[in-house]
Amino acid sequence: MRAPILVMLIFILVALSPTLVVSSYSYDNFAIAKPSCNDSCGHVRVPFPFGTTQECYLDKAFEVTCNHTSFVPPKLFLGEGGIEIADISLDGQMRVMQYIANDCYFPNGSSSYKNSPWIWLSSFTVNNTANKFTIVGCDAYAFVSGNRLGHDFTTGCIAMCSSEDDLTEGECAGVGCCQTPIPKDVWKIQVEVNSYSNYTNVLDVNRCGYAFVVEDSAFNFSKDNLTNLSLVETLPMVLDWAIGNGTCQEAKSNATGYACISANSECYEPKNGDGYRCRCEHGFEGNPYLTHGCKDIDECKNKTLNDCTKNEYCNNTQGTYTCSCPKHYIGNGQGVDGCKLSSKKQNMMIAFIFIGIASGIIVLLLAVNILFMELKRRSQKKKKQRFFLQNGGHMLQEKLARREASPEMVKIFSSSELEKATSNFSNSMIIGRGGFGTVYKGVLADRRTVAIKRSIRVDPAQIEQFINEVVILSQINHRNVVRLLGCCLETDVPLLVYEFISNGTLSSHLHDEAKARALDWSMRLKIAIDTAEVLSYLHSSASTPIIHRDVKSDNILLDHTLTVKVSDFGASKLVPIDLAQLSTVVLGTLGYLDPEYMQTNQLTEKSDVYSFGVVLLELVTGRRALSFDRPAEEKSLSNYFLYVLKQDLLVKIIDEKIACLGNMEQIYAVCKLAKECLNVKGEDRPNMKEVAMELQGLILGGKHPWERNKADSTEEMEYLLPNDHDGMGDVSSSVGYDSIRRDHIVLPINGGR
């Protein structure tokens, strides 16, 4: 709706502007007559010094009469009548209508007539440049006679023709038409036209001769004029008018009679005739014969009157104007390119433009950046949602909802929360790396320190099992279990968040010389008992049996009071049964892995028992489960242990840091228990509960119920003595489990089952 209105408005303005300008600049924007005097008669304007009454004209010479009675519209006459005035200009000219002289002949002679008009001017002169004495006819000669400079004068012209064919349109050179100029200073003329032979030879062409003084531009010869001029009475003639008959000098010295009374007027003398004239000085317009008649011309309103670069640069002054440049511009303001920006301003403009462009670019970049970030954020959000779904997020949410959330319950962390906690999973926050993934230390927003484990991608088929396990593990609230606080499912690989245990792993304590010394036998036994109890609890007491799957000294953490905190329950389950990845898994836990797993591909409670057996050996020997820097036969701790057992060389591998007389009985008992745990066949191993009870029994100094029928520990040790001596070769040749399988040591281990 707005556009048409705007267009209309512009249209109206455009349409109005020329009329406004024209009206304000029209020629009549100044008075030409005295106040309360008529300044026109019909179409003719009457400027002072002319006037119709004594009050209105300068003197009698300028008296004119406006005849309203005989003519409509009225006509103006010079003096009290006689010569009709067609036009008066302030430049000193006037146009009067002058009669034509004629001389006509008709065959019978009766109708012939002749007319010789004259004009006698008291104060004016016939203009010598604008007028021509003209004669039209084919058998005519004419005179113009009169007076100039006090003498009579006569001049003439002849016009002849023999047939109409001789005549040329527009050409007045003696054939049918003749013209001659009028001399200067003529104030009185009479025109007379005559015939040489009374038109007898050219009667068929022309019967009249005509002569007249006419304004040159008002007459253009035509063949028709030979006949049609008889219908015309008068033709315009230009007169010059001036004031008085003296010079400017004389007029000025005459105190009363000087006519140029307007300010900014000047006097000049005409080239033709006597007297003087007035005109407005340059830059003024109006009637110089009136008081205040000359008005300043505002050159600034009309572009053609000034040469300023723009009308706005123009300042009108009295009689003239000046051009000046606006602020910050230099130059004279004239011509096409009169004003130039001053260099300071120019620099400023450039600076502004530069700043403008620069800020534009910055804004654009910002916008693009924001857009980009927003897109990235959205795609990341989508990705997070996809991962969340993929990792069973909904399943977990449903389960949590069904169980009525309690603060103890597993929390679902957002990925950004954990990113913040670990400063974007920076390498400096890594506290552990293993076959199952990387462990980061993190500080949550509530200042809790946590361990965040990034495991390996979950097999989509096992998602439900994984989620179940997360829920179950999070519910375990045992003083010897590292608490699972929550998980994050928004990442490619699920992140598990555990409570942070400050004092490192059992492995690090055992294999660090100084720390190992601090770990005396009773301490080690305590660790063994606590670990065994936790495993037993998880295998039997928890609502669903939970198999650890990766029992090793690296997964047994110690807090600042050296209390056991078992970590990573069920974590290995997150690993898909994929051969490519299995190798990494086995590498990570080799030395602890249940040999039966090789055949069944299944980890059971008894697998944990086997692994725990290896941990017992580590506690007793202070050696690593698998040490590549030892001789080949000593590489696998379990194999080597069984070998030295057979060789009755047990003392050789017992850690000298704990070996003292008081401990030996217990140490041997633990070794015996370890051997049980390391049985190749899962069913031959005791279960975790039995192991835990056995270890507790050692502290109490009593004997385990299921071995009460045994005589004493020395006798017991006899069973530990090797009875098959070729086992050693196998151990040295491979890391297999054959030697163990062949090694049937009969032990009364049925009591606990």
Ligand X SMILES: *[C@@H]1O[C@H](CO)[C@@H](O)[C@H](O)[C@H]1NC(C)=O
Positions touching ligand X (CB under 6 A) are 21-22, 25, 219, 222, 224-225, 228-229, 232, 235, 302, 304-305
**What distance in Å separates the CA atoms of residue 134 and residue 701, rounded to the nearest whole number?**
166
How near is the Cβ of 231 to ligand X at its closest, in Å? Answer: 7
Please identify every residue annotated as catalytic.
Answer: 550
DSSP secondary structure code for residue 388 in this structure:
H
Q: How far is CA 504 from CA 510, 552, 571, 646, in A?
A: 11, 13, 19, 35
Write down the least CB distance from residue 25 to ligand X, Å.
3
Query: SS3 for 567-594, per residue?
Result: CCCCHHHHCCCCHHHHHHHHHHHCCCCC
Residue among 232 and 361 whose Cβ is closer to ligand X = 232
From residue 689, give the alpha-carbon distance in Å to each of 530, 553, 572, 619, 752: 12, 19, 22, 19, 8
- The nearer residue to ligand X, 143 or 219, going by C-beta atoms, is 219
Give least dist CB 210 to ligand X, A: 9
> CB-based contacts of 379: which residues, under 8 Å, 6+ apart?
none
Least distance to ligand X from the beta carbon of 8, Å?
24
CB of 297 to ligand X, least distance (A): 9
Closer to ligand X at the Cβ: 269 or 298? 298
Nearer CB in complex with ligand X: 17/163: 17
CB 678 within 8 A of CB 613: yes
Sign of the alpha-carbon dihedral angle for 4, 7, 8, 9: positive
Identify which of residues 59 and 298 has a Cβ nearer to ligand X in the complex: 298
Is residue 31 within 8 A of residue 39, CB to CB? The reply is yes
- Whose Cβ is closer to ligand X: residue 36's or residue 304's? 304
Kindly state the tokens that stand for 487.
Answer: 């998980």
Edge-to-edge strand ranges of the sheet holding 208-215: 113-115, 101-104, 208-215, 131-136, 177-181
Say how many CA atoms lie within 13 Å of 73 toward its Cβ: 7
Query: Can you say whether the dihedral through the CA atoms of 374, 379, 385, 388 is positive or negative?
Result: negative
Residue 237 CB, nearest distance to ligand X (Å)? Answer: 12
What DSSP designation does 62 have? G
Nearer to ligand X, 49 or 209 (CB): 209
User: 81 vs 44, 54, 63, 65, 210, CA distance in Å?
Assistant: 16, 16, 10, 7, 25
Helix (H) or strand (E) holding 266: strand 265-268
**Which residue lies nearer to ligand X by CB, 233 or 408?**
233
CA-only gyration radius of the chain, Å: 67
Report the b/e string of 58-71 with b at 16+ CB within 10 A: beebbbbbbeeeee
